[in-house]
Amino acid sequence: MEATVAQLPELDAAGFADAIKAEGTPVLVEYVADHCIWCERLEPILTATVEKYQARLRIVKVNVQRYPQTAPAGGVRATPTLALYRGGRLIMSKSGMMQRAQLVSFLDHWLDPANEGLSGA
């Protein structure tokens, strides 16, 4: 019997708008596209990482082909792109595939309140 890998919740445009405007917990959005092999390869890394950050971060995905209005200003030029939001503000984005250690390093840095005004300032 095969083990199933949990999937990230996929948001539509309205769900995305509500999620990123919520105060408190930062939201990491994986911008994906149909038939993006790198998106498919990144998702298990993200789902494996959710447990470590579940008290500090919400991780979701949005399909930019279906909901292009959800892309940050300037658009998503490549998929996958990860974008970190807090209180409706884009904190940081990074395009391309990441290994788990790179993802953890990225999240540890940007979730540190000393970086990019995440302390609410």
Q: Is 73 annotated in the active site?
A: no
Q: Is 62 annotated in the active site?
A: no
Q: Is residue 64 part of a domain?
A: yes
Q: Is residue 7 part of a domain?
A: no
Domain count of the fold of the chain? 1
Which CA distances in Å does 26 have to 65, 78, 108?
24, 22, 12
Catalytic residue among 29, 39, 42, 71: 39
Catalytic residue among 17, 33, 36, 60: 36
Domain span holding position 38: 13-109
Query: What's the whole-model pTM score?
Result: 0.84
Q: Is residue 103 part of a domain?
A: yes
**Tens-digit pLDDT string for the chain (121 aa):** 444 446 889 999 999 989 988 777 899 999 999 999 999 999 999 998 888 898 889 999 999 999 998 988 777 889 999 999 988 888 889 999 999 999 999 999 988 878 755 544 4
